């Protein structure tokens, strides 16, 4: 069993009106050093696969097919074990496609 957290954000060149509204509210509250607000959404999923490779490929497929719209959005996904340790990270944003998280005590 694994857990996946998928973070979906709008591509940089797509206008994020919600981010803009938050930004102007921050300005009204005198947060003069806070700029360029971008919003997104988190999707948490339990993954019933027996290997990390399978968990990665299944979640990646779900991201490509449903969770993010490749025309306007980017996704970043982190896979955890049951104990909450981060095992891998991947996204459609940058290479390398998958980074296996280094564990400090290994």
| Residues binding another protein (CB under 8 A) | 10, 14-15, 17-18, 20-21, 66-67, 69, 71-72
Q: How far is the CB of 62 from another protein (least distance, A)?
A: 11
| Complex with another protein: residue 9 or 88, whichever CB lies closer | 9
Place of tokens 């095992």: 87
Q: How far is the CB of 27 from another protein (least distance, A)?
A: 16
User: What is the distance between the alpha carbons of residues 81 and 84, in angstroms, rounded to a whole number?
Assistant: 5
Instruction: Please tell me whether residue 31 adopts helix, strand or coil conformation.
Output: coil
């Amino acid at each position: 069993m694994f857990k996946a957290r998928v973070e979906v954000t709008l591509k940089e060149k797509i206008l994020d009106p919600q981010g803009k509204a938050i930004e102007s509210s921050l300005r009204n509250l005198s947060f003069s050093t806070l700029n360029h607000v971008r919003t997104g959404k988190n999707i948490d999923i339990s993954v019933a696969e027996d290997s990390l490779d399978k968990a990665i490929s299944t979640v990646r497929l779900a991201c490509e097919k449903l969770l993010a719209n490749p025309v306007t959005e980017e996704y970043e996904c982190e896979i955890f074990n049951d104990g909450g340790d981060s095992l891998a990270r991947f996204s459609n944003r940058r290479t390398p496609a998958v980074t296996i998280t280094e564990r400090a005590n290994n």
